[in-house]
């Protein structure tokens, strides 16, 4: 099997040959790369070229970039496609609750909470945090027809996930590969652990070099820059629903962070910044109550759909009735909203109990069993 250096040498030589002998063919076009592939076949021999094509190093009608060599670099008994599928998908393609988190991120915030509480009773703190929720409930603005669908027992779509280009998804996954190669995170799967243990330092350095070249040519944009945020803490001007506090585990709170992505190191630091500042929304309420953060600085990420069981109450000027959750007229001000949320919580005791139990379980050294 040819070495990576030989592959690169022959590939670059073939490009120069085609450019010299086929000046009328546009560089980068499918026809151009098809001819380049043919030249490589003649240089390396048909068997070798077929093997490289199978690995994905050389492909017809595909724009060349340095990442084309990665399948060769990570080839093993396990297919390269399996390794690729093990990598976390782009955040826009998954619900917020599925967003991966770096080791110890959540536990770090929990430790800060425990230190801030000191000898204070955890159950008392959980009850105080529930009262905080009545003052700053999680709100989703919806048109009357969607509220009516929820009232009738149907789930509704909150927003369509933003589209992600293939280049952005590739860049997102390559940053994770860099993190594993440089031992910044543990292998994402046993397959990755096995493959990384087989890689020499030379191959690791080469892979990092190729990833860096790709990211310089295709900078990774902030994955949450265009992410819809229908959830808010402020009363919107239109009709809206209030989420049950016990359902806040499926919502994420994104604390302020800075994104930059000029090279692989900056992209990794940015990814760390995002995942180190993304916590369950229920934990964000507890941190606010302890005085460690301000909820007004938080960006709430919600699932792209919501079901009636997650709704505590709805507020609308339309004539809508429901046996699933109370529907009130639009409140005049935030004070009236707080009263209505208190009433809805009192009528739905399970929502409040689930909220406090989750916080107690999170802060207790051992999981709370009732």
List pLDDT tens digits, range 88-123.
888 887 777 777 766 556 678 888 899 999 888 999
Q: Binning pLDDT at 50, 70 and 90, where does residue 182 land?
A: very high
Q: Which residues 6+ apart lie within 8 Å of 88 measured at CB? A: 100, 172, 173, 176, 188
Mark residue 300 as left, alpha or beta (left: phi above 0; alpha: psi -120 to 50; beta: remaining). beta
Q: What is the pTM of this model?
A: 0.72
Q: Binning pLDDT at 50, 70 and 90, where does residue 25 land?
A: confident
What would the pLDDT profile of 190-239 be if each residue is shown by its tens digit? 888 888 888 888 888 999 999 999 999 888 898 888 788 889 998 888 99
Q: Which residue has the higher pLDDT, 189 or 245?
A: 245
The reported pLDDT for the residue numbered 57 is: 46
What would the pLDDT profile of 48-58 be if each residue is shown by its tens digit? 555 555 444 44
Comparing 256-260, 329-333, 366-370, which segment has the lowest mean pLDDT? 366-370
The reported pLDDT for the residue numbered 61 is: 38
User: Can you tell me the distance from the alpha carbon of 268 to that of 174, in angstroms, rounded to the nearest whole number?
Assistant: 10
- Flag whether pLDDT at 257 surpasses 80: yes
Cα 266 from chain centre: 18
Q: Which residues 6+ apart lie within 8 Å of 110 measured at CB? A: 283, 362, 363
Q: What are phi and psi of 240, to 5 degrees?
A: -160, 170
User: Contact 177/210 with Cβ under 8 angstroms?
Assistant: no
- Flag whether pLDDT at 41 surpasses 50: yes
Q: Which residue has the higher pLDDT, 179 or 45?
A: 179
- Flag whether pLDDT at 73 surpasses 90: no
User: Can you tell me the distance from the alpha carbon of 78 to that of 173, in angstroms, rounded to the nearest whole number?
Assistant: 18
Cα 202 from chain centre: 31
The reported pLDDT for the residue numbered 275 is: 82
The reported pLDDT for the residue numbered 69 is: 45
Mean pLDDT of the chain: 82
The reported pLDDT for the residue numbered 70 is: 53
Q: Binning pLDDT at 50, 70 and 90, where does residue 27 land?
A: confident
The reported pLDDT for the residue numbered 34 is: 72
31-35: average pLDDT? 75
User: Contact 281/128 with Cβ under 8 angstroms?
Assistant: no
320-343: average pLDDT? 91
Comparing 24-33, 37-46, 50-59, which segment has the lowest mean pLDDT? 50-59
Percent of the chain at pLDDT exceeding 70:
83
The reported pLDDT for the residue numbered 62 is: 45
Q: Binning pLDDT at 50, 70 and 90, where does residue 370 land?
A: very low
């Amino acid at each position: 099997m040819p070495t990576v250096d030989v592959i690169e040498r022959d590939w670059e030589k073939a490009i120069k040959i085609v450019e010299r002998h086929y000046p009328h063919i546009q560089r980068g076009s499918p026809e151009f790369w098809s001819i380049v592939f043919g030249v490589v076949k003649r240089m390396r021999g048909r068997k070798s070229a077929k093997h490289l094509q199978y690995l994905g190093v050389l492909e017809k009608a595909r724009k060349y970039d340095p990442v084309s060599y990665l399948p060769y670099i990570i080839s093993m008994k396990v297919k390269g496609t399996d390794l690729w599928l093990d990598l976390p998908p782009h955040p826009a393609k998954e619900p917020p609750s599925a967003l991966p988190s770096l080791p110890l991120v959540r536990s770090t915030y929990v430790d800060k909470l425990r230190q801030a509480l000191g000898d204070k009773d955890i159950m008392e703190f959980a009850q105080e945090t529930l009262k905080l929720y009545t003052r700053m409930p999680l709100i989703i603005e919806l048109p009357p027809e969607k509220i009516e669908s929820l009232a009738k027992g149907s789930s509704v779509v909150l927003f369509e996930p933003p589209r992600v280009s293939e280049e952005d998804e590739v860049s997102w996954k390559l940053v994770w590969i860099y993190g594993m190669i440089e031992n910044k995170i543990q292998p994402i799967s046993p397959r990755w652990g096995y493959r990384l243990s087989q890689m020499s330092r030379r191959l690791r350095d080469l892979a990092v070099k190729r990833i860096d070249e790709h990211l310089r040519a295709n900078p990774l944009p902030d994955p949450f820059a265009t992410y819809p945020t229908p959830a808010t803490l402020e009363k919107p001007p239109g009709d809206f629903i209030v989420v049950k506090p016990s359902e806040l585990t499926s919502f994420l709170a994104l604390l302020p962070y800075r994104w930059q992505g000029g090279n692989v190191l900056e992209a990794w630091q940015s990814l760390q910044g995002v995942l180190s500042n993304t916590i369950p929304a229920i934990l964000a309420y507890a941190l606010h109550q302890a005085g460690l953060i301000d909820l007004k600085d938080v960006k709430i990420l919600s699932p792209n759909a919501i079901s009636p069981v997650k709704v505590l109450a709805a507020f609308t000027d339309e004539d809508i009735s429901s046996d699933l959750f109370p529907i009130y007229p639009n409140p005049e001000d935030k004070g009236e909203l707080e009263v209505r949320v208190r009433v809805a919580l009192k009528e739905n005791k399970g929502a409040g109990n689930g909220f406090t139990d989750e916080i107690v379980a999170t802060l207790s050294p051992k999981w709370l069993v009732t």
